[in-house]
Amino acid sequence: MTQLINLKREEEKQTLKEVAEAMRKGELVVFPTETVYGIGTNALREDAVEKIFEAKGRAQDNPLILHVSSKKMLSQIVQEITEVEQKLMDAFWPGPFTIILRKKEVVPSLVTGGLETVAVRMPSEKIAQELIELAGVPIAAPSANRSGKPSGTNIQDIIEELSEEVAFMIDGGDCEIGLESTVVRVIDDVPYILRPGKITAEQIKVVVGSVKIDQHVLENLEENVPVLSPGMKYKHYAPESKCILVYSQKEERMIEKINEIANQYKSPLIIAKAQNIHHYPFPNKLVEGKNLEEISKNVFKILRKVDDYHPDIVLIEGVKNQGLGLAIMNRLIRACGHRYIEC
């Protein structure tokens, strides 16, 4: 039986110790981070990590992120760190930033999908930090969702999906950011963004002077092309309903295009910015937010609601591909199965 814990209640605070201990022993725990909820366990126990793949229905070649609470914990799992890598960690940790480093022997190959590298992140969310610290071991934690579903950003969205699979679920309210961390790998001193997130290309460039965005961040992958990050290969975030992402630099043109397509269907669902929503004369509409921060926070929650409307088409307003906008577009393009119209 899963135990649901709400740490806002004073009497439940001491139970965090108990939860951390269970995690150390190999139980699965759903916990909040500043990005999305994670489903985590002791990263150094292969039998525990195995349970994560089962609970999520995740392909075993898709490696996990290890969460640490200190530099000391980091040094247990990775080999030498270059100057550029160190600068990035100093700038963005703790926070929504994951870096791919060379792993040490102690990290089970199941964690890394057989790769010699390991993804590591130090979260800033207080409950997550405390939990990792109390567990005393790195915590392997993918986003808390069944594979292919949008990542969980609040307990209500994932309670049914995962409660059978885990020992504890910690309710920490809505995640502050709502999109998963930025994933970066440094090659020949140049950071490559493999998955965009709250830490933007622009911010990374300021710290180390250069940055590249992997082409697969927005483009569709051709089959059998080697990728730097296995996660790029998999279907993500997609509702059952057919979704189309529409964007134009000119707001009026985007609105016109969405209306034009929606008119060809019987029961369209429109997902638009708060300031644009009144331009769509259809009964089924969802507000994605009024700015990039709000959209980032809401997008997974909204994608989880789409199918409830039984739409015959879903039309989603895009945003400019810059800053946090790149991360939003990366998730939306995948949710739409790469059906994207730029006009």
**Which residues would be at the binding site for Mg ion (CB under 5 A)?**
143
Residues 25-44 that bind ligand TXA (CB under 6 A): 33, 35-36, 38
Q: Does 69 bind ligand TXA (CB under 6 A)?
A: no
Q: Is 323 an interacting residue with respect to ligand TXA (CB under 6 A)?
A: no
Q: Which stretch binds ligand TXA (CB under 6 A): 63-71, 78-86, 267-275, 299-307?
A: 63-71
Q: Tokens 């100057």 identify what position? A: 83
User: Cβ closer to ligand TXA: 112 or 276?
Assistant: 112
167 binds, among Mg ion, ligand TXA, none (CB under 5 to 8 A by kind): none
**Residue found by looking up tokens 């605070």 in the block:** 13
d(CA 13, CA 293): 30
Kindly state the smallest distance separating residue 3's Cβ from ligand TXA, in Å. Answer: 20
Task: Rule CB under 6 A: choose which of 29, 55, 119, 314 binds ligand TXA.
Answer: 119
Window 203-242: residues binding ligand TXA (CB under 6 A): 228-231
Applying CB under 6 A, does 181 fall inside the site for ligand TXA? yes
Residue 180 within binding range of ligand TXA, rule CB under 6 A: yes
| Closer Cβ to ligand TXA, 115 or 261, answer by number | 115
Residue placing its CB nearer to Mg ion in the complex, 112 or 143: 143
Cβ(4)–Cβ(29) under 8 Å?
no
Q: Of the candidates 142, 178, 311, 318, which one interacts with ligand TXA according to CB under 6 A?
A: 142
CA 235 to chain CA mean position, Å: 13
Is 117 or 129 the residue whose CB approaches ligand TXA more closely? 117
Please pick, from the candidates 16, 20, 63, 88, the single residue that binds ligand TXA as defined by CB under 6 A: 63
The residues binding ligand TXA (CB under 6 A) are 33, 35-36, 38, 62-65, 98, 100, 112, 115, 117-119, 121, 141-143, 180-181, 183, 194-195, 228-231
